[in-house]
Amino acid sequence: MPLPRSCILLAAILLTALGSTAAVAQEDKPLLTLDSFPASALASESSRFLHLQVIQPGKMESLFAQVPVAGLHALELTYRVRYRDVRRGAQPWYDARIILDFKNAKGETVAPGPPAPNFTGTSTDWRAETLRFPVPAGATQLNIMPTLFQAASGTLDLAALSLRAIDAALLPSAPGAAAAVVVDKGGKPPAQLHVDGNRLLDAGGAAVWLQGVNVPSLEWSNTGDNLLSSLVTAIEVWKANCIRLPVSSERWFGHQAEQKDGGAAYRALIAQAVLAASTRGGRIIIDLHRFRAPTAEDAAFWGAAAAAFKDDPAVIFGLFNEPHDISWEIWQHGGDVTDAKKGGDALAENKEAVTTFHTPGIQALLDAARATGARNVILAGGLDWSYDLSGILDGHALDDHGGNGIIYDTHVYPWKGDWQHKFLAVAELHPVLLGEVGCDIKRYAFIPPERFENPYTWAPDILACIQRHHLHWTAWSFHPGASPSAVSDLHDFIPTPYWGAFVRAALLGATFQSDKLR
């Protein structure tokens, strides 16, 4: 006897529902786990993590798994990682990494693939990481290879490894999608800072160690280059707790020809950047990004900017980017700046017109900020493009007028020598921030060949010095167009191997061991 039509329809609906449930369950099932690798790769039967170790320097140690991905649109890789004494081999990419290689049905590599998570140095505490990425068109399988890729030494451990299919809507936003950034994260701003001897303390008396990056572009642009996405990535992904934000006094006051609003939109964008950092628990340095010596307009800037941010505990005032070719007396108290450069050991780091003008001095900028009632911590750079702080110990320390104190700012690059005299001696008495620090694989034209150093030797040494002396630092720079660059793009923010990989490792907790000074 045939079933009634209504029963047939009901059965079809039930089968469809069961099929959908099964499909969802199948999607929720991990595509890859630790069990996808040979049991011999586990550290032990009781230890649920993969363990790789360099046995012979320069020889690759790796594991391999294949995952079918036909019909999938996006993937999420999660894992916990720790590593010890990972030293690079003969090439920049000879390190510890997780290689992710998409293949098509013919076994050919399909591009673009995701950036390979890479690790150098030492990070002994387990750290959770997540990487989301699209499946390229035509890809049918993904090869996943945890590896010590011809590294000179080291161990790599991976736990809780899991690969899942996800909705493509969960992928990071496209370049320029600043509107997609949640500016106000809703978190509580960090406590106000104050200086105590050579330490920075918060309102509760706890020591604070500023570590982060520079997010440039507002010094040359009214709108910035993917500014908010860069700032949020630096804090949330790279774990920076401080952002140095270079800005322009000319753009703040709306003096650019294309600015028709008196600078209102520019000032609003800086306020958004401050909010994005502070509600994520980060601090932000408003860096007046000017050179040589300040002018009266720079003092006017600090009268306006300090008034705008005096009640924000997350904001530090970076008075003036890079003074140079003036005396310590003029640096401190002002005077006539001539068109004659000082020469000596300083290199001409920027091509700028050298003119004659009167400067009010750095103390006048501090006074302008304090006149607003702002107590925010002040950041002040020394001579030789902010590198040389030696004059601070020779009678040229600034007078803070009862504010929350001063951090002295040094800019350290591989062509700078005499670390002990130029900034380490000052750090024994005052807080010191390496407001700019970085290295490049290429030699800039102004650097003599004998003063160029391989970044793969310089980067770990300067980071070891920073960590050993507990110096504050913000790496230059989180922008591919401002060298030395820590990132190679403004979308995935892939770290450059010669500098960014070291910066990211340090911010994520890796330790560097070296007692070599320059």
Quick one: average pLDDT of 28-46? 83
List, for residues 376-410, the tens digit of each pLDDT value. Answer: 999 999 999 999 999 999 999 999 988 999 999 99
Predicted local distance difference test score (pLDDT) of residue 11 = 38
Is the pLDDT assigned to residue 502 strictly greater than 90? yes
pLDDT in tens, 86-104: 988 877 678 899 999 999 9
Mean pLDDT of 422-442: 97
Q: Higher pLDDT residue, 263 or 339?
A: 263
Residue 140 lies in a domain: yes
User: What is the average per-residue pLDDT within 255-260?
Assistant: 90
State residue 181's pLDDT score. Answer: 76
Q: What does the block give as tokens for 378?
A: 């002040």
Last residue of a domain, one of 120, 139, 170: 170
Question: Tokens 């496209």 belong to which residue?
Answer: 174
In a domain, 512, yes or no: no
Q: Check: CB of residue 139 under 8 Å from CB of residue 71.
A: no
Tell me: do 467 and 500 sit in the same domain: yes
Q: Give the pLDDT of residue 409.
A: 98
- Assign residue 279 the CATH number of its domain: 3.20.20.80
Cβ atoms < 10 Å from Cβ of 181? 18
The pLDDT assigned to 470 comes to 97
φ, ψ of residue 98 in degrees (nearest 5)? -115, 105
- Give the C-alpha distances (Å, rounded to integers) separating 84 from 51, 59, 61, 121: 11, 17, 15, 6
Which of 112-116, 214-218, 263-267 has the lowest average pLDDT?
112-116
At 20 the pLDDT is: 36
CA atoms of 241 and 226, how far apart (whole Å):
19
Regarding whether 452 and 331 lie in a shared domain, the answer is yes
Task: Provide the 3-class DSSP secondary structure of residue 345.
Answer: coil
pLDDT at residue 122, rounded to an integer: 87
Domain assignment present for residue 2? The answer is no
Percentage of the chain exceeding pLDDT 90: 71
Q: Is residue 13 part of a domain?
A: no
| Beta carbons of 314 and 189 less than 8 angstroms apart | yes
Please compute the mean of the pLDDT values over residues 415-440 and round it to a whole number: 97
pLDDT of 27 strictly over 60: no
Query: pLDDT tens for residues 54-91?
Result: 999 999 999 999 999 999 999 999 999 999 999 888 77
Structure tokens at 472: 């504050």
Domain count for the chain, please give it.
2
> What is the span of the domain harbouring residue 396?
178-507
Per residue in 155-203, pLDDT (tens digit) is: 999 999 999 999 887 776 544 344 457 888 889 999 999 999 999 999 9
CATH number at residue 116: 2.60.120.260
Predicted confidence at residue 132, as pLDDT, reads 85
In a shared domain, residues 280 and 324: yes
**134 three-class SS:** strand
* 3-class DSSP state of 82: strand
Higher-scoring residue by pLDDT: 324, 121: 324
pLDDT at 2: 41
Distance from C-alpha of 410 to C-alpha of 182, rounded to nearest angstrom: 33
Domain's final residue, options 170, 192, 225: 170
Select from 151, 170, 189 the last residue of a domain: 170
Q: Do 199 and 257 belong together in one domain?
A: yes
What is the rounded average pLDDT of the residues 314-328? 96
- Summarised one tens digit per residue, pLDDT across range 113-158 is 777 888 888 888 898 888 888 898 999 999 999 999 999 999 999 9
Is residue 56 located within the same domain as residue 35? yes
Specify whether the CB–CB gap between 65 and 37 falls below 8 A: yes
| Residue predicted with more confidence, 44 or 406 | 406
For tokens 């509760």, what's the residue?
Answer: 204
The mean per-residue pLDDT over the stretch 450-466 comes to 94
Q: 3-state DSSP: the chain helix, strand, coil percent, rounded to 5? A: 25, 25, 45
- Give the integer Cα–Cα distance in Å for 345 and 451: 12
> What does the pLDDT average to over 269-282?
95
Residue-level pLDDT at 7: 39
Averaged over 482-486, what is the pLDDT? 95
Q: How far apart are CA 184 and CA 186, in angstroms?
A: 5
314 and 456 co-located in one domain: yes
Give me the pLDDT at residue 350, please. 67
- Report the distance separating Cα 438 and Cα 446, nearest Å: 16
Q: Residue 354: pLDDT above 70?
A: no
Q: Please compute the mean of the pLDDT values over residues 498-518 and round it to a whole number.
A: 94
pLDDT of residue 492: 84
- Within this chain, do residues 294 and 162 fall inside the same structural domain, yes or no? no
Same domain, 398 and 452: yes
**Does residue 111 sit in the same domain as residue 245?**
no
Question: Do both 145 and 210 map to the same domain?
Answer: no
Mean pLDDT of the chain, nearest integer: 88
Q: Is residue 50 part of a domain?
A: yes
Average pLDDT over residues 301-311: 95
Let me know if residue 437 belongs to a domain: yes
23: in domain = no
Work out the pLDDT band at 210, boundaries 50, 70, 90. Answer: very high
Q: Are residues 194 and 313 in the same domain?
A: yes
> Does 131 lie in the same domain as 213?
no
> By the 8 A CB rule, do 255 and 160 touch?
no
Q: What angle do CA 10, 16, 19 make, to 5 degrees?
A: 140
Residue 5 is assigned to a structural domain of this protein = no
